[in-house]
Structure 1
């Protein structure tokens, strides 16, 4: 076998070095990381010198004059590799303005916009004492950010370079706090961690391409035994449909002779379709896999289940309801009609409107089993999820929809609506709030789920054991690949292949 030439060795060495530097910069210093920077810290000049003889201007706030006024604008963001939840804050974020007094603070910008409400809500939002501003413990997913605009009075004679200098320096700004398993750091104004990470990542990709060209001479070597030809239908859970579609797309990209179609008729409907269409009479036909959020009912004795991942679910509410946390007892009383208005739960004066999944939904069965501990009320009083246009005499305003998307569409649209869905899809909606359950946030980190009951195991079912070498068998094997596992993690699911991070019994067939 020929030895690698000098060019190949040097390229490989550069690739390894770049990868190490990128990994150290991006992950090792603390995968949980809040970055901040002072974008503005400037004095507010009220009286131009040339106009003193003509006019005297005063700065008033709530009828009180403010002298030596300054404005500071700070940006905070999660620029680490992991999401940050409220429990990660051992000490909350504080901002100290040396020699100055905080008069007030607002949140002019946030992504997602729900952060504005979390940061400013009565009783738990921004507060200040003297020269210190205290920020509430808000969850921050990767790349989430918010800005805080602070009005101050007084001046700091020790104007350190640490203070922002946009528009004229006003003073020293110090940010404190403590994140468990992470850190809080100041970001550079012109060369932030994101740009550095992108630059290193780009260099890595270029070197990787060069090394691949040198070693493979432009040829791609397929993974042996991964592909099979034929047609396969995957049908069932609407909650698991987004990652499944992406996994199927990745498989088709690798295997040109495979046709994989993903449908989403609901967990129980998918199981019924599998039992009917993939039975003994059609054993030689196209493959069929059912995706279910719950174990198959006992009547489907010939179906064999393969657990693939843990899916974290959440109660979701329209943001106008004014609540972001409920207890299990409060939820049960909402669904039995004890509570009919959000003001009864310290929310806004809006009627509670229940948006439910239909009886074929595995997510609904998981909700009934792990949260309600009973069946949902059977009366459907609303067609449009907003009014009792189906049964005006019903105590509850309740509708049923046939998919996760339809449920989130309704909760996003209807003020006062509440329902349940998987966490990743809910986070994409502007007016949908994930509701804390008994004070606990839904989180992909399994260690945090001991006190959070609303999750379920996702199963892939086949009619009996698929034949070795068939497209069905090959696709099931692909579900254990790094590609499929990473897609699941991206959608906030925990792959069963990560057995070291899950209790033994969770992913047991």
Structure 2
């Protein structure tokens, strides 16, 4: 039986924890905080030097009067991940009395947020004194910074030529089940939180001394220990690596290795590992852009999400939109120069994937409606150095990275890749198909044809409580879904975005 001193310590600890939680979390477990880290005029005309020099600030050949620079930090400082659907009204930043001239994203954690915030046509935009921020998912403690160039003066200081600074920056929006607040300190704590936090720490120390013999509390329900191998799709490997990293950070006893041998190779490796296991299911999962062939009768698959794919070209081709008929005639050799489809005078070089690629299978099924011509006429993708008589200049690579490297390097190249990875290449353009482009908001997909369902396969049913079983469950968590959205994938666990026919057999 615990003694009176222990019971009192426990009661004090519980009461302090409840008070702190009410004060800190209950007003909004979903919470976006913001801080104005800098708001200062750009002094281009020193008063003492007016008789000697007049300096002007120009941006895109336009003079900016009374310029100021503001630096904002926006972060998820609540206790729950924030997804796109949580934004009932997107975030806006209002600079009273000033005009927004331009904005940059100098810092973000994770860095992938920068691409999401600056995506052409769907990123940051400004009008008048307002800055409009796109709906971006934010895991707990994720943040980004905005450096904003402004023009305008304070009405009561205009006569003195002093630019408006400080205190006139307000972030608005509406977060379902949460709130948006301005933080005045580094992490935005209020004095009651500091006091309660200090008392909480003292009580924890006291209780630790009293309960040295108390058993260690159980691990998180979603955690398991051991080693797990995940192999397969090169297109889905990047988000899977991040999801695995998040899981390992949450569950220190787990070690997860993510390989990228290609969809069909991953399935073959899983089947081989399963057959070599004397009993049960191996600690091995395979990710595939296509359903497993029927010869692998013991493999069991779960639909994880939808991968958005893009036809990609080198920027020097001079095209950004193709019809499906034009794409098919490029691949069958009817068109051999980009001039044939309204582009520049450059020969067409097709960069294909090897036969084990799930992305290639998706391209053949959804775009070509036939097999991609298998003749490899080029070793380096630049000329017919392997078969001069071939109708199409075509090479093959064994990964998404290899394909994008070739398209980025070869002036007239065309290929296909996962949309998010393609967007990170400076000389690669994702082509619109029949005027349509991929959209992570599934309800807006309409007629865009080039996507595929991502599967995660196990050999038989993983044992309850095993790392493989726990990790499969973790893929339905908000954290995993946010990672997938960050990589422009649509999670199957999000029933509000996907129809039942896409993510169910």
Q: Normalising by structure 2, what TM-score?
A: 0.64
**Aligned position for 1:7:** 9
Number of matched residues?
A: 476
Q: Do the aligned partners of 1:94 and 1:135 also contact (CA within 8 Å) in 2? A: yes
- RMSD between aligned alpha carbons? 6.1
CA separation of 1:182/1:134 partners in 2, compared to 1, >3 Å: closer, same or farther? farther
Whether 2:456 is the aligned partner of 1:459: answer yes
Paired position in structure 1 for 2:56? 59
Deviation of residue 362 (structure 1)? Answer: 1.6
Kindly indicate whether residue 360 of structure 2 is the aligned counterpart of residue 364 of structure 1.
Answer: yes
**C-alpha distance in structure 2 between counterparts of 1:297 and 1:333, whole Å:** 26
Is contact 1:328-1:372 (8 Å) kept?
no
Counterpart of 1:474 in structure 2 is 466
Query: For residues 200 and 313 of structure 2, what CA distance do their matches in structure 1 show?
Result: 42
Does the 8 Å CA contact 1:156/1:171 hold for their aligned counterparts? no
| 2:263 paired residue number | 267
Q: What secondary structure is seen at the aligned counterpart in 1 of 2:457?
A: strand
CA shift for structure 1 position 147:
2.3
Q: Distance in 1 between matches of 2:425 and 2:204?
A: 38
In the alignment, the residues of structure 2 paired with residue 56 and residue 496 of structure 1 have an alpha-carbon distance, to the nearest angstrom, of 63
Matched, 1:488 2:469: no
Cα distance, 1:73 vs structure 2: 1.8
The whole-number CA distance in structure 2 between the counterparts of 1:267 and 1:441 is: 22
Q: Which one of 296, 304, 307 corresponds to residue 309 of structure 1?
A: 304
Contact 2:12–2:203 (Cα < 8 Å) also in 1: no
Distance (Å, rounded) in 2 between the aligned partners of 1:343 and 1:179: 50
**For the residues of structure 2 that align with 1:78 and 1:354, how far apart are their CA atoms?**
43
| Maintained 8 Å contact 2:320/2:431 | yes
Q: CA deviation at 1:115?
A: 6.2
Q: 2:233 aligns with which of 224, 232, 237?
A: 237
The 1:342/1:267 distance shift into structure 2, 3 A limit, reads: farther
Q: Is the 8 A contact 2:95 2:169 kept in 1?
A: yes
CA contact (8 A) 1:15 1:208 kept: no
| Distance in 2, Cα, partners of 1:58 & 1:37 | 27
1:357–1:403 contact (8 Å) kept in structure 2:
yes
Give the equivalent residue in structure 2 for 1:147: 147
What is the distance in 2 between the residues matched to 1:191 and 1:345? 54
Q: Which structure 1 segments of 5+ residues have no match?
A: 161-166
After superposition, residues 398-417 of structure 1 pair within 5 angstroms as 398-410=394-406
Cα pair distance change 1:186/1:20, threshold 3 Å: closer
1:306-385 aligned at under 5 Å gives the runs 306-315=301-310, 329=324, 332=327, 336=331, 341=338, 355-385=351-381
Aligned to 1:296: 292
Structure 2 gaps of 5+ residues are none
Contact 1:305 1:461 in 2 (8 A): yes
Q: Is the contact made by 1:38 and 1:73 (CA closer than 8 Å) also made in structure 2? A: no
The 3-state SS of whatever aligns with 2:355 is: coil
1:5 counterpart SS class: helix
Relative to structure 1, the CA distance from residue 483 to residue 386 in structure 2 (aligned partners, 3 Å threshold; closer, same or farther) is: same
1:376-406 CA-to-partner distances (Å, cap 9, x unmatched) read: 4445455445666556777766543223343
- The DSSP-based 3-state class of the residue aligned with 1:296 is coil
Whether the aligned pair in 2 keeps the contact of 1:40 and 1:72 (CA below 8 Å) is: yes
TM-score by length of 1: 0.64
Change (3 A) 1:137 1:369: farther
| Distance of 2:194 and 2:421 partners within structure 1 | 31
- For the 8 Å contact 1:92–1:134, the answer to whether it is kept is no
